[in-house]
Structure 1
């Protein structure tokens, strides 16, 4: 008897995996509330300068790049599920270690260079967890979800990233609300970091109750386990068809499959994956996210007003990510990306024009909202969707690792150059992001394939044909 698709089961697996996205957002944003306290405790008290402060605040990004680079090895060697468990453990260690770096070796209240090093080490460990989760969470969801709803399911991961950022803003506010600056600088910042241990522990526990992806199980020649997972997701008859298609893409012997090179399907697919990641960062979104309060303050808003506007931006992020979730499998990936690029260009060119005219006001906020909303309904979630689905099965682990590492490197470059660019010219800075938005639309229009409704196995044959390989893949 053929079972029907189990939508509740699919969403349950997606929800558990997407907690990795929530922790991604939580870990990258938690520093926003603790930054000044960390500066007071570990930088100012040691009479260190802005270079040490900047390196400390951005230290997690180093771990993100490392995590992205090693994600391919982990995904292939340990599987998608175990790699996510490792990421959860790293999040947990980082949360407690960052909150109490004095554990075992140092005396609380006595900062030192060695303690600063240990704190940065814990933040880097958390960054490795972010790098792993950012690559493997969409990979896991993409390999679990049926083709016709895969875009929606992978986009949900972006929702959880934004939701994680929004949650930690409120957690930080709740910890600091009504407390003295002295208490926050002594104790409060520790609670902010340690609070991440709760979702990290929940993530680790829940992962033990989800299966490995059927694509990885087939790669490891565990067909009986793969068919069980596929049947529970798609129904027994459809599972047989999908298993056959997956096995066709893994038709090489185990020894040859394990030695498949990154460029086995040509260089184009790898270049497209890298450029998707680079454009997602070069349009300037993390400048808007990381420096939002400072941008609003520079527009003339008081500090409290700038924080409120930042929360408003967070809510806009959530709403327009939902728009992407609801439309990605109906409209397709390319139309959403191109539409979003045009909207981002309008927003950034608007901000740039106002900056050149030295006009600051509500009009600037409106253009920033247009820009952010356009990103969140397009490049925010859809880039992750494409990274999860454009690569052939045999090279997906290592290809995703390269793309994600490129994304974190681009993130670091754009975020670190923003203050310097703003000192030179605010108008030219925002104009640059506008130009990148236009180029991203052209790139998608010419080079990026539409993957709406396509199976992951279809992409193998697609790239083989693109590379001019005439091998039989059916």
Structure 2
């Protein structure tokens, strides 16, 4: 199919972006399934607060391993083989969790699922950023966040429907993850390799052929020239190169934003919905219904973010999201502390989700996929996202313990403070990246 009048083959770009972003769907599945399954897993495995936190967080420990694997795999063998491996791991681990007969086997399989999630969390947005023209890169990378939230919503609906099938319902909840895993694997077979990786591997003709499917001749020649320049003097890269002086500011911004996206606290709302609403007297049916409401709001406002990320820019969205969450958390903590009605708590939970979905959720992934130089993008992305998953583990592991010690409301006062500090960091340290090619961003980084 030839490029359109705009100079780009829009349908082709969106098509391959959506296929790559199916990794995000599986990310959303493994992320959300625990919220519906925990009420069944607690009695099945006799979980106390510590083990509940560890079981929930074991996904993040696997994610860290997956990120470390993906960075090297992506730079050595390409983005596409890594995505295929992630899909295979998803499928096997989903079946493994469904069939697990004991706590140790279940946690091992959830850890394995995390390896797949970690690989996809790097490779899907990285791949999309590298095949997208600068004008639509923010929107296209945000497709990955869209598929994450679709995965969360669909999983929450399925969990709600399965909840009445008895104490073994959790097995079906996890086992059904094998279906989208297989579809993702089949889809990746059809994807072209990243043109930037192909140039790095010395396969310029193949890279040019991929770019010709994406855009017109001027786009192809300009992009090939810019990519070639960015790899001049390329030597084998190691994690030591990620922290060299020239790129250290970008790496520190990437790591800080990744950690902030997790420690802002919103994933407590996603993973421990049942705990939060149980604390104000909601029954199991209401708890699981709230997960669906959260998923719907998350989806709607993620679409809003996709519409605005290349118009308003990355920085304004991050600023309003972080300060907005700080205020909403203070109100939510007060409501939980004073045993407010579940309906009122629900309103502020959903406002928090809407703020997050239009700001920190998609924009963090967009910025991480943009700000690192071509030479070390795979390794640098893995460092930032390892930091993200480490922060996620800390968050979900500590919440049941803090909630048991301080009350369910207590941690939300802490998250409000973290969000305010995040607002200050974005205001003073994060620069706008919209509308610039990856090579222009790299040039500006080195220059400054």
TM-score range, shorter chain: over 0.9
**1:11 lines up with 2:46 in the alignment:** no
Alignment partner of 1:162 out of 133, 140, 149: 149
What does residue 319 of structure 1 align with?
A: 300
Contact kept, 8 Å, 1:345 with 1:371, in 2: the verdict is: no
SS of structure 1 residue aligned to 2:351: helix
- For structure 1, list consecutive stretches of 5 or more residues without a partner in the other structure: 102-110, 467-474
Contact kept, 8 Å, 2:53 with 2:399, in 1: the verdict is: no
* Counterpart Cα distance in 2 of 1:134 and 1:442: 26
* Counterpart Cα distance in 1 of 2:76 and 2:446: 25
What does residue 351 of structure 1 align with?
A: 332
Contact kept, 8 Å, 1:352 with 1:427, in 2: the verdict is: yes
What does residue 175 of structure 2 align with?
A: 194
What does residue 113 of structure 2 align with?
A: 126
What does residue 69 of structure 1 align with?
A: 68
What does residue 263 of structure 1 align with?
A: 243
**1:233 lines up with 2:233 in the alignment:** no
Alignment partner of 1:416 out of 390, 397, 416: 397
**Backbone CA RMSD of aligned residues:** 2.2
* Counterpart Cα distance in 2 of 1:424 and 1:344: 21
Query: What is the deviation of 1:402?
Result: 0.7
Change (3 A) 1:122 1:307: closer
Matches within 5 A, 1:68-467: 68-101=67-100, 111=101, 116-177=103-164, 179=165, 181=166, 184-185=167-168, 188-253=169-234, 255-256=235-236, 261-264=241-244, 265-355=246-336, 359-360=340-341, 362-422=343-403, 423-424=405-406, 426=408, 428-466=410-448
- Per-residue CA distance 1:199-258 (angstroms, 9 max, x = gap): 1111111111110111111111111111111111011221111110011000114x4567
- Corresponding pairs, count: 442
Change (3 A) 1:425 1:303: closer
Query: What is the deviation of 1:444?
Result: 1.0
Query: What is the deviation of 1:419?
Result: 2.5
* Counterpart Cα distance in 2 of 1:147 and 1:299: 47
| TM superposition score normalised by structure 1 | 0.88
- Per-residue CA distance 1:61-115 (angstroms, 9 max, x = gap): 22112112222111111211110001001001111222224xxxxxxxxx5xxx5
SS of structure 2 residue aligned to 1:212: coil
Contact kept, 8 Å, 2:277 with 2:342, in 1: the verdict is: no
Contact kept, 8 Å, 2:327 with 2:416, in 1: the verdict is: yes
Change (3 A) 1:325 1:98: same
- Per-residue CA distance 1:14-47 (angstroms, 9 max, x = gap): 1100100000011222233344544555x34xxx
* Counterpart Cα distance in 1 of 2:432 and 2:394: 29
* Counterpart Cα distance in 2 of 1:328 and 1:21: 18
- Per-residue CA distance 1:348-392 (angstroms, 9 max, x = gap): 121234445564554433322222111110001110000111111
Larger Rg: 1
Contact kept, 8 Å, 1:346 with 1:371, in 2: the verdict is: no
- For structure 2, list consecutive stretches of 5 or more residues without a partner in the other structure: none
* Counterpart Cα distance in 1 of 2:65 and 2:420: 30
